[in-house]
């Protein structure tokens, strides 16, 4: 009796679990992957790159830093990169316009920020009327500010003077110079801020709001044309997450290479953000996407009748889960 497609697929996966590599059997498939920031949210890419997991799965991956999710999305649509990791809002917007962008993997499903303020700001209510640093209008930290601060009695658009100052390092620099009274930071900058006497007023990771902060997305065209390469990418990415959860010291060394923090700040970044933000099976969070869509509907009314499933293609993860891949990883 001929083996079924499902059985053949499981056999293919078992070959990978036993350490089989495409190296030497066929040329590595080249994939350029864009990152929207140099921050803890990119650890899920750095780990499979630096540990050789991409190569193990037959891929020659080049990571390209392109600042800002909208610019990353433009690079994806132009074909400059094959996949992108960043905030999914631009992918949703271009999908609505018929560009065929889809989220295939979920990453951070909470806001990873800490609210950090000058020492003279003793409580969150003291921020009223103060200058507040954000990356830019529409960025993930701006969205977090608008969604979370009302829980603390602050209406950001009315109570804060929001100033666009750029990335996390730039926001930290603005806070340190006194240009802003408060901002949202991510470890390792939060560790540096505390050492300099700044106050951490709240940890947004502890706020019970599902939110798709980061995701891996690509185009329908690539999903169709390079299904095998994307499946291999999802496998390597997933094994990278397993590595993160099971190899703390090695993961922190990789983080230190890219983030340039000291041991204390890297440990905080790993413990407080990376471990909490890396789902073992990296499905996009539908509840988190719905939170984002509810926020976006003010400027994108078409989302009022849309559903998270309209922007997700998780069949690669589903195939792996059904085959027992994740069960085998975490046995």
Asked whether the domain spanning 114-206 has the same topology as the one spanning 5-110+211-329, the reply is yes
CB 270 within 8 A of CB 255: yes
Instruction: Report the alpha-carbon distance of residue 37 to residue 303 in Å, rounded.
Output: 26
Q: What is the pTM of this model?
A: 0.84
Instruction: Report the alpha-carbon distance of residue 76 to residue 248 in Å, rounded.
Output: 32
CB 323 within 8 A of CB 9: yes
Q: Which two tokens stand for residue 203?
A: 């940890």
> Biggest alpha carbon distance in the chain?
76
What per-residue confidence (pLDDT) applies to 62?
A: 97
| Nearest residue to 56 (alpha-carbon basis) of 222, 219, 242 | 242
What per-residue confidence (pLDDT) applies to 13?
A: 52
| Nearest residue to 101 (alpha-carbon basis) of 247, 216, 250, 248 | 216
Q: Report which secondary-structure segment, H or E, holds 293.
A: helix 286-296
What are the boundaries of each domain within the chain?
A: 5-110+211-329, 114-206
Per CATH, which fold does 114-206 belong to?
A: D-Maltodextrin-Binding Protein; domain 2 (3.40.190)
pLDDT in tens, the chain (331 residues): 444 444 445 445 545 554 444 445 678 999 999 998 888 889 999 999 999 999 999 999 999 998 777 788 889 999 999 999 988 888 899 999 888 899 999 988 888 899 999 999 999 999 999 999 999 887 788 989 999 999 999 999 999 999 999 888 899 999 999 999 999 999 889 999 999 999 999 999 888 888 998 899 999 999 999 999 999 999 999 999 999 999 999 999 999 999 888 899 999 999 988 998 889 999 999 999 999 999 899 889 999 999 999 999 999 999 999 999 999 999 9
- Non-local CB neighbours of 266 within 8 Å, separated by 6+ positions: 187, 188, 252, 255, 256, 259
Q: Which two tokens stand for residue 213?
A: 């902060």
| Nearest residue to 140 (alpha-carbon basis) of 100, 86, 98 | 86
Select from 3.40.50.2300, 3.40.50.300, 3.40.190.10, 3.20.20.70 the CATH code of 5-110+211-329.
3.40.190.10
């Amino acid at each position: 009796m001929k083996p079924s497609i499902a059985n053949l697929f499981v056999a293919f996966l078992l070959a990978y679990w036993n350490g089989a590599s495409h190296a030497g059997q066929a040329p590595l498939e080249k994939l350029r992957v864009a990152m929207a920031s140099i921050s803890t949210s990119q650890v899920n890419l750095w780990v499979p790159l630096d540990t050789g997991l991409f190569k193990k799965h037959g891929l020659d991956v080049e990571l390209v830093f392109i600042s800002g999710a909208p610019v990353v999305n433009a690079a994806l649509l132009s074909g400059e990169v094959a996949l992108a990791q960043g905030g999914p809002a631009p992918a949703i917007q271009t999908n609505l316009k018929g560009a065929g962008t889809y989220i295939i993997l979920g990453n951070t499903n909470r806001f990873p920020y800490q609210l950090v303020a000058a020492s003279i700001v003793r409580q969150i209510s003291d921020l009223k009327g103060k200058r507040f640093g954000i990356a830019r209008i529409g960025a993930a930290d701006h969205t977090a500010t608008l969604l979370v601060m009302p829980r603390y009695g602050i209406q950001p658009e009315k109570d804060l003077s929001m100033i666009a100052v750029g990335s996390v390092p730039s926001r930290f620099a603005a806070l340190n110079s006194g240009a802003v009274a408060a901002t949202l930071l991510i470890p390792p900058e939060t560790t540096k801020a505390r050492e300099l006497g700044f106050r951490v007023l709240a940890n947004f990771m502890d706020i019970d709001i599902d939110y798709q902060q980061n995701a891996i997305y690509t185009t329908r065209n690539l999903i169709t044309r390079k299904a095998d390469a994307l499946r291999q990418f999802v496998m390597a990415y997933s094994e990278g997450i397993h590595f993160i959860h099971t190899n703390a010291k090695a993961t922190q060394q990789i983080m230190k290479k890219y983030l340039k923090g000291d041991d204390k700040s890297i440990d905080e970044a790993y413990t407080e953000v990376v471990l909490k933000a890396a789902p073992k099976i990296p499905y996009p969070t539908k509840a988190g996407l719905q939170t984002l869509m509810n926020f976006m509907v003010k400027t994108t009314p078409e989302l009022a009748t849309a559903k998270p499933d309209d922007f997700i293609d998780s069949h690669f993860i589903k195939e792996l889960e059904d085959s027992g891949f994740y069960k085998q990883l975490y046995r």
